Homo-oligomer: A and B are copies of this chain.
Amino acid sequence: MSSLTNQPVATESKKPADARERAKKLVQEIQDKICQALEEVDGKARFREDLWERKEGGGGRTRIIRDGGVFEQGGVNFSEVWGDTLPPAILVQRPEAAGHSFYATGTSMVLHPKNPYVPTVHLNYRYFEAGPIWWFAGGADLTPYYGFVEDAVHFHQVHKKACDAHHPEYYPVFKLWCDEYFYIKHRQEPRGIGGIFFDYQDDSGILYRGPDTNGRAHAYSEKVGRVSRTWEDLFAFVKTCGDAFIEAYIPIVERRKNMEYGERERNFQLYRRGRYVEFNLIYDRGTVFGLQTNGRTESILMSLPPLARWEYCYTPEKGSREAELTEFYLKERDWVNEFKS
């Protein structure tokens, strides 16, 4: 575990000689373990695997599950890419990387369950190198259609435990950062009930780097000050987070997957999936960047739902379970502490 300190730390970025290989193996192992756990809980469908190469350098293995017992459609992607220069949007945050070639590897996942009581979930863990610098990034967040306090608390609690094992300030900062990032501005609505999200984690001692924020995570991390971490610390942290996903999500699936539902619940799920499309195509950096830089479109857009609907001025009935989603669940809540008995 690293220690919290208000002392600035050296910005020289040390990493092991086999950093790329280890990071790649880590995210591949996360992909493998998650796919296995998902097939088990699904009970019917298996992942289809596509290996692909990127003309400009790199490639990946995309795994798709469809028409399963639980999962209507979903994908768990692994990719490894390299090139001459990072995109401008990243260079603004990490100017030290300008003029250097880069390497990036990661795994990302979105699952769209069939049953409206099973929440959609997203996970992404990645590692970057560019000239003198490197960083880890990622997180996981939950998007229910019908909310359950028990599920939200569980998902957060497991991620908090994973964070706390590495640094007491990780969960508070990365929870706020997640709330800020997965926000659908034009709807003034969070995408879901959150989880954790972090970017640009390196050994500079800086816990938070904007700009996708209303400033609260930033303000909090400023208050926290600098946090001393090594490459090894962060590697271990990402491994813990990746491993935590199964414990965070699978019990929720087990609890909800056999709940009965009808056309009403299905229609609401399809409507809410429209919000997921809106977020991913308008705001999600990974999606927009991938599409604009000649990424593999089918792998990038595997995050989109199998079916979604839009309805002009839809408003759920007052006091209904559907109204409860936006009125109670899609609020920024301290899930771990608010519901302690």
Report which A residues bind B (CB closer than 8 A).
Answer: 50, 62, 64, 66, 73, 75, 185-187, 270, 274, 277-278, 281-282, 288, 291-292, 297-298, 300-302, 304-313
Asked whether, in the complex, the Cβ of B281 is within 8 Å of the Cβ of A187, the reply is no
Q: Which residues of B lie under 8 Å from residue A310 when comparing CB positions?
A: 73, 301, 304-306, 308
Do residues B278 and A282 form an inter-chain contact, with CB atoms below 8 A? no
Contact of A306 among B300, B309, B313 (CB under 8 A): B309
Contacts of A307 in B (CB 8 A): 270, 307-309
Counted per complex, copies of this chain come to: 2
Q: How far is the CA of A291 from the CA of B278 in the complex (A)?
A: 11
**Contact for A281 among B66, B277, B298, B300, CB less than 8 A:** B277
A300 to B50 alpha-carbon distance, docked (Å): 37
CB contacts (< 8 Å) of A297 on chain B: these are 186-187
Q: What's the minimum C-beta distance from A283 to chain B, rounded to whole angstroms?
A: 10
| B312 A309 Cβ-Cβ under 8 A | no
- In the complex, what distance in Å separates the CA atom of A8 from the CA atom of B304? 50
A186 to B292, CA, bound (A): 7
Among B50, B75, B274, B304, the residue within 8 A (CB) of A304 is: B274
Q: By the criterion CB–CB under 8 Å, are B292 and A75 in contact? A: no
Given A185-B291, A282-B282, A301-B310, 17 additional A-B pairs, CB 8 A: A64-B313, A73-B311, A73-B312, A75-B312, A186-B291, A186-B292, A186-B297, A186-B300, A187-B297, A270-B307, A277-B281, A281-B281, A281-B282, A282-B288, A307-B307, A307-B308, A308-B308
